[in-house]
Amino acid sequence: ETGVTQSPTHLIKTRGQQVTLRCSSQSGHNTVSWYQQALGQGPQFIFQYYREEENGRGNFPPRFSGLQFPNYSSELNVNALELDDSALYLCASSSGGGNYGYTFGSGTRLTVV
């Protein structure tokens, strides 16, 4: 059974640009969530997708958007990048959450300059 894989591992972008981050869910997991982890902070919930629909969103502006595909893989898109968007972006998949926890990928380190 494969885990959650994210690509790329590192990325440098210029302020104002757009970025797409990718995530392949663990086999059998139909729910994917994206988190932003700033330096010294815990992961902050961005949004969650279930069966290709966004079914929950945290306190992030609309320039953060996503997609989930029929194979349950997912993308996170960020438009008009700002310096404060520099962070580790984590993808997590689950088959229902709750007390089963989530399986996280290793993350994409985004640096905006």
Footprint of other proteins (CB under 8 A): 4, 31, 33, 35, 40-45, 48, 50, 55-56, 58, 90, 92, 94, 96-107
Residue 85 or 104: the one with the smaller Cβ distance to other proteins is: 104
User: How far apart are the C-alpha atoms of 22 and 45, rounded to whole Å?
Assistant: 17
Which one, 84 or 100, has the nearer CB to other proteins? 100
| Per-residue tokens: 65 | 């958007």
Residue number with CB closer to other proteins (20 or 37)? 37
Q: How far apart are CA 111 and CA 113, in angstroms?
A: 6
Cis before 8? omega within 30: yes
Judge contact between 52 and 70, C-beta under 8 A.
Answer: yes
Phi/psi of residue 50, nearest 5 degrees = -135, 120
Helix (H, G, I), strand (E, B) or coil at 72: coil
Minimum Å gap between C-beta 64 and other proteins is 16
Nearer to other proteins, 16 or 26 (CB): 26
The nearest distance, CB 90 to other proteins, in angstroms, is 6
- The distance of closest approach from Cβ of residue 70 to other proteins in the complex, given in angstroms and rounded to an integer, is 19
